[in-house]
């Protein structure tokens, strides 16, 4: 008996009900909240999503990396319902609750800190980045921050300043500036684009002579694998070099693991691949299976350096989101999702490498664990980016029942952020749909 397919397409994509709702959206929702795909969700479970027209898709978008344990995991749903029935909100700093403490106690041993560490919770990754800069500035008494080309750290003031992409944020009359002062930008290693770890470190050292004095720098903020930048993996030598430079000059090293964290790279946190301790570790996205929660885990002396009231917010560390986060940790333990991430990644990488051999427009395959992407180029010799190919492949994939995201400084990559709980058959269906889309666009 044939297995029931995860992909079930009953209408054209998008279907009539989705189109109707999107038309209503255009009348009442602000235009900047544009839609990547005009497919309106009705429900989602595990690695599949069903739209309002009854079409079912394999989801490689994963809520942009928020659903590593899968959509609507029963353990998470149960925890959320149980906590919601008790209380929804008090503000932890006004009337505290045990969940906040318990989650911190469970997270710290999972993070790559060998000494005393502490935690502070917030609502979103961008908030955690903003507050990490506060911690670094308070601890060092210095103003400056260094970030990298290709970085994405969020869309509030400091995090958007750290983010490295001109469109749609920093282009002429459409710029969202002025941006925060004392932020400096360095090259990030990308060997496919001809920038080695040695090149990037040399440029950084030169910056300390020509651009900003090391005694003025509070923090260096980086992603172990750049997310929106196109899944560019930091080389071992680069991460070690950052740590050595920060140690030499008393700079706080901030690892943004908003997208790499919670098993995505085949380790609970990507910094484990390097054997290098950051000073502050930024967590969000899959920490609470899609509910708004983020956190900073950091060395205790840094986390204790600010004064009363310097950080906080009405909703930070919401108890319902924290109940979900505790359930997420249970699911990771029970279902061995870190190990599963490596298995999923091995399967995806093998297919991607086959596609690289087959299609000349695929210039590069890269990533760690289940965090993988392919980059499209017009010509392998010139490596000229081909963003229209990434868009067309994503559109073709949706028509075949696969939800697939783009990425990259040039928007010329397709990336995988599927739930780590995806079954082998769902994964195979998704990869088959992707391959058919490549054939339709590239052949």
- Residues 62 and 414: beta-carbon distance below 8 Å: no
On the question of pLDDT at 308 being above 70, the answer is yes
Tokens at 34, concatenated: 């544009």
Confidence label for 165 from pLDDT (cuts 50, 70 and 90)? confident
The pLDDT of 407-419, averaged and rounded, is: 97
Query: What tens digit of pLDDT does each residue of 95-117 get?
Result: 999 999 999 999 999 999 999 99
How far, in Å, are 34, 134, 139, 168, 194 from residue 129 at the CA level? Answer: 25, 9, 15, 20, 29
On the question of pLDDT at 41 being above 70, the answer is yes
How far apart CA 101 and CA 94 sit, in angstroms, is 14
Phi, psi of 93, deg, nearest 5: -80, -10
Query: What tens digit of pLDDT does each residue of 338-352 get?
Result: 999 999 999 999 999
Helices (H), 97-235: 98-107, 125-140, 157-162, 197-210
- Domains and their CATH numbers in the chain: 12-42 (no CATH), 74-335 (3.40.640.10)
pTM for the predicted model, two decimal places:
0.96
How far apart CA 377 and CA 171 sit, in angstroms, is 24
- Residues 220 and 254: beta-carbon distance below 8 Å: yes
Show the beta-strand stretches assigned E in 273-415.
280-283, 294-299, 362-368, 371-376, 402-403, 405-407, 413-415
Phi, psi of 170, deg, nearest 5: -135, 40
Tokens at 154, concatenated: 């969020």
Going by DSSP bridges, is the β-strand pair 56-59/48-51 parallel, antiparallel, or unpaired?
Answer: antiparallel
What pLDDT, on a 0 to 100 scale, did the predictor assign at position 2?
Answer: 61
The pLDDT of 197-211, averaged and rounded, is: 98
- Residues 7 and 57: beta-carbon distance below 8 Å: yes
On the question of pLDDT at 62 being above 90, the answer is yes
Q: In what order do the strands lie in the sheet with 41-45?
A: 41-45, 48-51, 56-59, 402-403
Query: What tens digit of pLDDT does each residue of 415-428 get?
Result: 999 999 999 999 99
> What residues contact residue 119 under an 8 Å CB cut-off, 6+ apart?
103, 104, 107, 108, 295, 296, 297, 298, 303
């Amino acid at each position: 008996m044939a297995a029931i397919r995860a992909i079930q397409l009953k209408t054209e994509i998008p279907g009539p009900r989705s189109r109707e709702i999107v038309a209503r959206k255009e009348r009442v929702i602000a235009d900047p909240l544009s839609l990547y795909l005009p497919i309106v969700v009705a429900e989602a479970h595990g690695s599949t999503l069903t739209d309002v027209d009854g079409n079912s898709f394999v989801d490689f978008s994963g809520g942009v990396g928020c659903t590593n344990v899968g959509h609507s995991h029963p353990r998470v749903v149960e925890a959320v319902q149980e906590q919601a029935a008790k209380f929804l909100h008090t503000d932890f700093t006004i009337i505290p609750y045990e969940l906040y403490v318990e989650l911190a106690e469970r997270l710290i041993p999972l993070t790559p800190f060998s000494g005393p560490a502490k935690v502070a919770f917030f609502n979103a990754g961008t908030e955690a980045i903003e507050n990490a800069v506060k911690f670094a500035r308070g601890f060092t008494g210095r103003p400056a921050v260094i970030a990298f080309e290709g970085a994405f750290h969020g869309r509030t003031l400091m995090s958007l300043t750290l983010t490295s992409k001109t469109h749609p944020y920093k282009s002429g009359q459409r710029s969202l500036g002025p941006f925060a002062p004392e932020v400096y930008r360095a090259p990030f290693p990308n060997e496919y684009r001809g920038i080695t770890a040695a090149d990037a470190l040399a440029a950084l050292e030169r910056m300390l002579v020509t651009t900003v004095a090391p005694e003025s720098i509070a923090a260096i903020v980086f992603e172990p694998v750049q997310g929106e930048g196109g899944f560019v993996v930091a080389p071992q030598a680069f991460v070690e070099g950052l740590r050595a430079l920060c140690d030499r000059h008393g700079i706080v090293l901030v690892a943004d693991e908003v997208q790499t964290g919670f098993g995505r790279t085949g380790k609970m946190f990507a910094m484990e691949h390097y054997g290098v301790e950051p000073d502050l570790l930024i967590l969000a996205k899959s920490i609470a299976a899609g509910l708004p929660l983020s956190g900073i885990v950091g060395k205790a002396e840094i986390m204790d350096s600010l004064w009363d009231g310097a950080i906080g917010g009405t909703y930070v560390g919401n108890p319902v989101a924290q109940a979900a986060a505790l359930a997420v940790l249970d699911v990771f333990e029970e279902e061995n999702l870190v190990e599963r991430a490596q298995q999923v990644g091995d399967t995806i990488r093998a297919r991607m490498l086959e596609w690289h051999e087959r299609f000349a427009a695929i210039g590069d395959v890269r990533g760690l664990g289940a965090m993988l992407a392919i980059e499209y180029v017009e010509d392998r010799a010139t490596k000229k980016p081909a963003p229209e190919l990434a868009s067309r492949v994503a559109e073709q994939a949706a028509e075949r029942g696969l939800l697939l995201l783009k990425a990259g400084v040039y928007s010329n990559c397709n990336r995988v952020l599927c739930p780590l709980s995806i079954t082998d058959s769902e994964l195979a269906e998704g990869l088959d749909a992707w391959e058919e889309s490549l054939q339709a666009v590239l052949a």
